[in-house]
Homo-oligomer: A and B are copies of this chain.
Amino acid sequence: MSKQYEPIRIGEKFAKIPDLWKPRVVAEMNDYQFKLVRLEGDFVWHSHADTDEAFLIVEGELRIDFRDGAVTLGPGEMYVVPRGVEHKPFAASEVRVMLIEPRGVVNTGDGDTLERTAANDVWV
């Protein structure tokens, strides 16, 4: 037999995401998820008490502010925000990001916002 399995094409997936700030799942690995999200503007300060969170930049530039500084990420760069560390993503213009984190993590963590909180487990 010679079945052709389909790759997950990240660029094509991004093209199907209409909204900013809404992470979309593209793959699962054990109890972790790979999510794509388009960001532009300011997010809310928040932290995730129970998990680290990995950011991998596909396109554009993302700044992640911390209470004591910041990291600026471009395409092909990544950063892992440790659990419990308050952070606030910011993008002056649109940035396309892959997030890797456990299934069930809420994007706004402990940040008390309704506007930015996105539904979980939505695939693209």
Contacts and interface: CB of A to CB of B under 8 A. Distances in A.
B7 A74 contact: yes
A70 to B, nearest CB: 7
* Copies of this chain: 2
Interface string A47-71: 0000111100010000000101111
A26 B79 CA distance: 10
A77 B10 contact: yes
Contact of A78 (B10, B66, B101): B10
A84 to B, nearest CB: 12
Nearest to A74: B7
B69 A29 contact: no
Given A3-B68, A69-B5, A27 B58 contact: no
A100 B100 contact: yes
For the complex of A and B, the 7 pairs showing the least CB-CB separation, nearest first, are A3-B69, A5-B71, A7-B77, A29-B52, A1-B68, A29-B54, A8-B78
